[in-house]
Structure 1
């Protein structure tokens, strides 16, 4: 299987785990806005093992989130050193590469989703929530061989969590804060084990928690930002359609294709392309679209990792 195919399976996992949180909000709430943390501030330390080994520290205060990561990833024979800071605000996201000494900024893709959702009337919003939930369930069913992922209640490090298992991965998300405290599992030779080792709330933040280090210039990535805006418009336009999902595009493969390339997926005839054509078509464009889609999905998880 091509590397892109493996990426698609990983993306499917992210969607299945995240969709339950994104669509679980009440009818009066915007499901694409991150849940406010139920405390003034928090610092969470994570240990990473498996295909990625290292550590991360997540800082939260008000509408600010910043994840500092220092890890080495070995996947498919390739080794990649990561030392970065991801700073997320309600409207913007900054990715800082501490190795390359560069930083890029875009609008927060989840904020763009929320903006598009707010433009809809109540009936359309209801349809979006219903179709998004159906999409997540359909993808999960296709990838796991049937059945909707069950959300169980439990505790982790003394915190109440929602536990979801998909494709051999299990995620423990802090119920009150919608923050993943543990994700563990493996697929296609990629193993993930990231777990919180220390959780502190209502604490003072270090001065550099939400800042780009001195000497690193922040560049606004206009092209990536435009793609995120377009993706948000296309996805909401697709999900507000009452006919969505009736032609098979909400299934496992179709659901992922619709998420990352809504315009093409909405008009696609499932019988018009062979499996080979689907897997090999537009490799570079597909990788870029997937990359932007994953940025959007990561917002659902409550961090910009």
Structure 2
């Protein structure tokens, strides 16, 4: 849920889309299929590649990076797959991974239960909450602040991190962070609008996936609380994270720390 609070600030960037689409989860990327390459620099160095299809509803992020701190280095190779139903977080070095329900699935279900008037209210409150949260964290939002690879990007600066995302969509193309002496930068270097091989979205052979059915019920309950809070003009409770099964919390702490994947995971909570 702490991630959700930051997510809502990203949702400020999607005001125009919210007004036009059926729900906050029906936003589409400006391309049906694409491959986006990123360069990672700073305390971490390396690269990542984001594969997209279904206008972003299905994605796979391959990430290879090395972190160097105080003369010590750690190499990570990860894969994060997101479909309409599931989210997979995989360590390619250890050949292990975690599978959990895509929170978007339950959020859509709860949203669709609302009347048209209540749906409109929830969408409006997402925006209002995001604006107030940014202000409360001494953050700033700037619309159409910069053009990256031909796309206008909105800018959010908060808690030592600056994110440039495609305007009205929330897909990060550039992220900069400077926290506790650790500098991080991840920038898109190329966007190819091309078909993506189906195997990019498959769990690699030999990877052992762990799944906890408890996480499904937790996600369903959180979706209900989120929608109800937005409907009642209540701020979301950051302590909702504590309701997660212990093993899921441990796995999330071990998940890749890349800002691109972190932002993407957060966006999935509200369909960006």
TM-score by length of 1: 0.71
* Counterpart Cα distance in 2 of 1:36 and 1:70: 27
* Counterpart Cα distance in 1 of 2:26 and 2:127: 17
Matched, 1:140 2:139: no
Contact 1:109 1:295 in 2 (8 A): no
Contact 2:13 2:154 in 1 (8 A): no
Aligned partner of 2:258 in structure 1 is none
User: What whole-Å deviation, never above 9, does each CA across 1:65-103 have from its counterpart, x for those lacking one?
Assistant: 110011134579996532111111122212221122122
Match for residue 229 of structure 1 among 216, 220, 233: 220
Q: Name the larger-Rg structure.
A: 1
CA separation of 1:217/1:23 partners in 2, compared to 1, >3 Å: closer, same or farther?
A: farther
More strand by share: 2
Matched, 1:127 2:96: no
CA separation of 1:132/1:39 partners in 2, compared to 1, >3 Å: closer, same or farther?
A: closer
* Counterpart Cα distance in 1 of 2:150 and 2:164: 12
User: What whole-Å deviation, never above 9, does each CA across 1:187-242 have from its counterpart, x for those lacking one?
Assistant: 333432110112111x2324531111112243333222322222111111111114
How far the C-alpha of 1:60 sits from its partner, in A, is 0.8
Contact 1:46 1:56 in 2 (8 A): yes
Aligned partner of 2:230 in structure 1 is 239
* Counterpart Cα distance in 2 of 1:98 and 1:262: 26
Unaligned runs of 5+ in 2: 256-261
Measured on the aligned residues, the alpha-carbon RMSD in Å equals: 3.6
Matched, 1:65 2:59: yes
Give the length in aligned residue pairs. 259
* Counterpart Cα distance in 2 of 1:190 and 1:182: 17
Match for residue 261 of structure 1 among 237, 240, 249: 240
User: What whole-Å deviation, never above 9, does each CA across 1:5-54 have from its counterpart, x for those lacking one?
Assistant: xx96xx488335422145551165211x1522333311111111223322
Match for residue 35 of structure 1 among 27, 36, 40: 27
Unaligned runs of 5+ in 1: 1-6, 245-249, 265-283
TM-score by length of 2: 0.78
